[in-house]
């Protein structure tokens, strides 16, 4: 089983992550990790902060000669923006601010924000890159695309840029949806035996764990509208997981992301010291998180798939796992209904 933990605050010194249970013999491709961090950082709709961040990362343990050793992998990412905002008793609606202040007895919403911030997803992306590299070594590839942005139902680079610019001018933000596809996934990952072993439930927990992700589904957007007859004729609609187990087809996942709650013009709030109404202003918010969330999703879902692969095939090194996966693919190829 692969496990991971992260630590660190949005404007602290750095983010720290530990990845445990990861097999030996996977090349830690630093250029790839840097590239994926840049994809997250530079996704459309992000704020000016992202041009200040460069996500310099260090891999502190678990590697020898560029290859993973099977030991826990520790990663550190430095924050460039470290100026902690002034204390504020104004919780921003749509954020963890109010619940977090009440929960931990804090008078400064900033203490909640610092950890609840999606800055932490830079580390989840970095750790997830290891899983993506393992999966790629086993022939599994991820891709994602944004399928809606605000009221746009067909999203192109051009119309997305226009929509984002319009929202920026109106002091508004946007939500949207993305689709995530994994190809080359062997049949038999996950299980129907218990709810918490169903692969869809595991992927859902990982993806709903991304800040702002409010909806998750397995299968094509057409699945629920199709009748049973059509769904039977077109098994690809069910998105590669039936009964909690992969069936050898592409995995298709869909996520809905809420509009970024931080508004430059301020959102209605109440000062928790004085209980007076006031606007909670977010000067540096992103316009939309949907494009960045899609990148993060590729890698957090990859961690879940890599974990399920290790449960099915066992093995402590890529050299041990790979022939098992290949032999299984050969054995099951003829039964897979393409």
Ligand X SMILES: Cc1cc2nc3c(=O)[nH]c(=O)nc-3n(C[C@H](O)[C@H](O)[C@H](O)COP(=O)(O)O)c2cc1C
Q: At what angle do helices 121-137 and 290-313 cross, to 10 degrees?
A: 50
- Could you give phi then psi for residue 214, rounded to 5 degrees? -115, -15
Q: Which is nearer to ligand X, 286 or 310 (CB)?
A: 286
Which of the residues 49 through 88 are near ligand X (CB under 6 A)?
Answer: none
Can you give the length of the chain in residues?
Answer: 338
Judged by CB under 6 A, the number of residues near ligand X is 19
Q: Is 285 in the site for ligand X (CB under 6 A)?
A: yes
Collapsing DSSP to helix, strand or coil, 213 comes out as: strand
Distance CA 165, CA 171 (A): 10
Binding span for ligand X by CB under 6 A among 83-91, 127-135, 155-163, 278-286? 278-286
Q: Residue 67: which residues within 8 A CB-CB, separation 6 or more?
A: 24, 25, 26, 27, 28
Minimum CB–partner distance for residue 233 and ligand X (Å): 37
Q: How far is CA 309 from the centre of its chain?
A: 19
Q: Are 44 and 161 a contacting pair, CB within 8 Å?
A: yes
Q: Is 223 in the site for ligand X (CB under 6 A)?
A: no
Q: Is 293 in the site for ligand X (CB under 6 A)?
A: yes
**DSSP secondary structure, 257-296, as one string:** EPPP---TT-EEEE-TTT--EEEE--TT--SB-HHHHHHH
Q: Which is nearer to ligand X, 146 or 210 (CB)?
A: 210
Q: Is 302 in the site for ligand X (CB under 6 A)?
A: no
Q: Is 288 in the site for ligand X (CB under 6 A)?
A: no
Binding mask 172-211 for ligand X (x = CB under 6 A): --------------------------------------xx
Choosing from 138, 282, 306, 321, the residue that interacts with ligand X (CB under 6 A) is 282
Binding site for ligand X (CB under 6 A): 47, 94-95, 116, 118, 121, 210-212, 258, 260-262, 282, 285-286, 289, 292-293
């Amino acid at each position: 089983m692969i496990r991971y933990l992260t630590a660190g605050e949005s404007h602290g010194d750095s983010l720290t992550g530990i990845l445990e249970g990861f097999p030996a013999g996977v090349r830690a491709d630093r250029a790839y990790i840097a590239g994926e961090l840049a994809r997250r950082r530079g996704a459309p709709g992000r704020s000016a902060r992202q041009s200040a961040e460069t996500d310099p990362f260090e891999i502190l343990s678990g590697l020898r000669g560029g290859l993973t050793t099977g030991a826990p992998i520790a990663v550190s990412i430095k924050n460039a923006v470290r100026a902690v905002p002034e204390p504020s008793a104004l919780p921003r609606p749509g954020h963890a601010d109010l619940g977090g202040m009440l929960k931990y007895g804090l008078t400064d919403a900033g203490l909640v924000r610092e950890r609840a911030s999606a800055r932490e997803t830079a580390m989840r992306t970095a750790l997830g890159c290891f899983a993506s590299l393992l999966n790629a070594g086993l022939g599994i590839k991820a891709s994602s695309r944004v399928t809606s942005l605000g009221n746009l139902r067909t999203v192109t680079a051009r119309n997305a840029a226009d929509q984002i610019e319009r929202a920026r001018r109106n002091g508004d933000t946007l939500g949207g949806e993305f689709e995530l596809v994994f190809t080359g996934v062997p049949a038999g990952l996950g299980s129907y035996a218990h709810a918490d072993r169903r692969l869809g439930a595991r992927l859902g927990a990982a993806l709903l764990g991304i800040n702002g992700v409010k909806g998750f589904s397995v299968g094509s957007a057409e699945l629920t509208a199709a009748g049973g007859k059509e769904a039977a004729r077109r098994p690809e609609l069910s998105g590669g997981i039936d009964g909690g187990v992969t069936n050898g087809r592409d995995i298709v996942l869909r996520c809905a992301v809420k509009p970024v709650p931080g508004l430059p013009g301020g959102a209605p709030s109440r000062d928790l010291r004085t209980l007076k109404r006031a606007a909670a202003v977010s000067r540096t918010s992103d316009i939309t998180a949907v494009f960045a969330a899609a990148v993060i999703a590729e890698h957090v879902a990859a961690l879940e798939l890599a974990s399920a692969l290790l449960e099915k095939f066992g093995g402590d090194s890529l050299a041990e796992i790979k022939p098992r996966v290949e032999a299984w693919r050969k054995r099951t190829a003829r039964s897979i209904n393409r």
